[in-house]
Amino acid sequence: MKLALAVAFLSLAPSVLHAGTTIHVPDDVATIQGAIALAQDGDTVLVAPGTYPEALDFLGKAITVTSAGGAALTTIDAATAFDSAVTFHTGEGPGSVLRGFTVQGGDSSQRAGGISCFGTAPTSPLVQHCIIRDNRTNLGLAGG
């Protein structure tokens, strides 16, 4: 019985011990995508004001990516990526949060240019306080 309880505790320990870390961009990690790659479910990626020339993929993680200065001061600009600016495609739910960014420069021939939600599993991320502008798609579906 004691062995069964010990095994049960150890199997739960990693999720219980992870209390949600804040990863600062660019202080801890240079890019937002780099911080997303390091993040675990429950973590927060806190982004300093500025323009970040990259496209983001949430990688199926239930994390919060938020700006410290709001959408007026913090921009995701995917103009050099030739893809959607932000992609949710691995069953992300409301625990996957994008908050406080201007999202621009996305240009995808396969999906929406700005924020794209697609995949084999349904996606329903939470997008709050974002400005989505100047994105394109060739499909006629949506630039945003």
pLDDT digits (tens, 9 = 90+) for 81-138: 778 899 999 999 999 999 999 999 888 766 677 888 887 778 899 999 999 998 888 7
Distance CA 121, CA 134 (A): 28
Distance of CA 45 to the CA centre of its chain: 9
pLDDT digits 0-9 by tens, 33-77: 999 999 999 999 999 999 999 999 999 999 999 999 999 999 999
Contact 85/78 with Cβ under 8 angstroms? yes
Q: What is the pTM of this model?
A: 0.83
Token pair listed for 11 = 């199997």
Rounded distance, CA 136 to CA 131, Å?
15
**CA dist 122 → 39, 48, 85, 125 (Å):** 22, 31, 19, 10
Q: Are 51 and 75 in contact (CB under 8 A)?
A: yes
**Distance between CA atoms of residues 95 and 48, nearest Å:** 21
Per-residue pLDDT averaged across 19-46, rounded?
97
Distance CA(122)–CA(127), nearest Å, equals: 16
Angle at 70 between CA 83 and CA 119, to 5 degrees: 30
